[in-house]
Chains A and B, each alone.
Chain A
């Protein structure tokens, strides 16, 4: 391990790479947000189905066994969908944190580059680091 600070050379193109990482993280976040939206819609649908079957079960006592099985199956599908929603929520939180980290990293790198007089490539859009 180095005992003294090494002499470093800086590569302005790294700013472009950091910006790309931020854009990619944002795209991942949007994708996960859409997936969560879809999963929530699916869960809502399955939950409604389960409730409908439960209502029918009470409406037709003669077919109670069969209706109960159908209700159980629908409830299990709804529960499985809820588990997927919860997992997707966790993934979305992680993706959100990744966006924040990428944005902070790019902002810190830009500030450092400005302080060091490193020329920022034209491809880098400073607005990317805004909230």
Chain B
């Protein structure tokens, strides 16, 4: 009789250990899925998108530079002698004047005159940086993030189902503080069968 009781106890301990291991494995998988989502979110964008960003920046800089040039001055017979010189902005609180308008004008002119050359250089640098890394377009990133998040939620629901099953069996187990509240509040019918 004692042997049977001990055997039964051993069986229950084995079951408890297996249930705890299941929750532990689920938690490790959840952690892995979170890392996967982080990796998707920070994965580099494609060469096309990188160069589109470069082109947009060039367009904006060139446009701003032209807009900021004192072109009207060229029509003034006296002031035209100063050409299109851009002056730094003197600020009373600063010891040195703000030279950024000059730098912006110069940068804009560079983009207007030799953008293709600069673009080739930048494209080569971006290609080197990308190397063998997986690049994602905005659509691919959104789709993969959505899919991974759905998988993460499914894992969290499975974990919650396991925890409730263990609680029902009289084995309390602490929930994670960062558990998804959707899983915590899900009705039993919304959880997968443990």
Contacts and interface: CB of A to CB of B under 8 A. Distances in A.
A11 B186 contact: yes
Contact of B153 (A5, A12, A113, A118): A5
A2 B153 CA distance: 9
Contacts of B64: none
A108 B190 contact: no
B144 to A, nearest CB: 11
Given A3-B147, A5-B149, A108-B181, A10 B175 contact: no
B153 to A, nearest CB: 6
A101 B174 contact: yes
B55 interface: no
Interface string A98-120: 10111111001101110000100
Contact of B172 (A14, A18, A21, A103): A21
B68 interface: no
Interface residues of A, number: 32
A46 B146 CA distance: 61
B174 A1 contact: no
B174 A10 contact: no
B179 interface: yes
Contacts of A108: 177-179, 181, 184
Interface of B: 146-147, 149-151, 153-155, 157, 172, 174-179, 181-182, 184-190
Interface of A: 1-12, 14-15, 18, 21, 24-25, 97-98, 100-105, 108-109, 111-113, 118
